[in-house]
Amino acid sequence: MTSLDQEVALLRSVPFFSSIEAGKLKLLAYSSEKLGFEDGEDVFRQGSTDGDAYFILQGSVDVLTERNGHEVKVAHLPQHALFGEISAFCDIPRTATVRARGHLLALRIPKENFLNLIADSPGVALQIIRVLALRVAATTNDLVAALEARDGN
């Protein structure tokens, strides 16, 4: 088990959290939970409603959606990626299943703390907006490529 100061130092070393003032970072570390997952273990399932956000401290995850009874991998997220934020922002069920690929260490940030962090830290809010915009752009590109492949263009 790590001490609170060690967890704050770990968060401080991650670019995503580096702009947060020390007191807020300590509160984030204290109010969040570090969770370990083994390869193939689900962090959460599509349709679940917990609404917490997650940040990958170590490892990576696959993002899967179910279509016609089959899972389809729609993304792979590496270390230091944020996920689960859609449910936190929109108060809707999970839009995908997230599964550990290899050993995963993730920080589970309760929904209320996540929303407060964004409200109190414009730098973090801007980073999250960038992440979401890049995901929308990638999804749009993937959709166009799939439509072109289907239509033979």
Determine the residue type at 30.
Y
pLDDT in tens, 44-85: 999 999 899 998 989 999 999 998 889 999 889 999 888 998
Correct CATH for 4-148 of 2.60.120.10, 3.10.180.10, 2.40.50.140, 3.40.50.2300: 2.60.120.10
Domain residue limits, the chain: 4-148
Give the mean model confidence (pLDDT) for residues 114-125: 85
**Residues 29, 31, 36, CA angle at the centre, nearest 5°?**
70
Token pair in block for residue 8 = 């704050």
Q: Are 94 and 114 in contact (CB under 8 A)?
A: no
Q: What is the percentage of the chain residues whose pLDDT exceeds 90?
A: 38
Is 100 in a helix, a strand, or coil? strand
Indicate the pLDDT class of residue 2, thresholds 50, 70 and 90.
low
pTM for the structure as a whole: 0.82
Q: How far is CA 145 from the centre of its chain?
A: 25
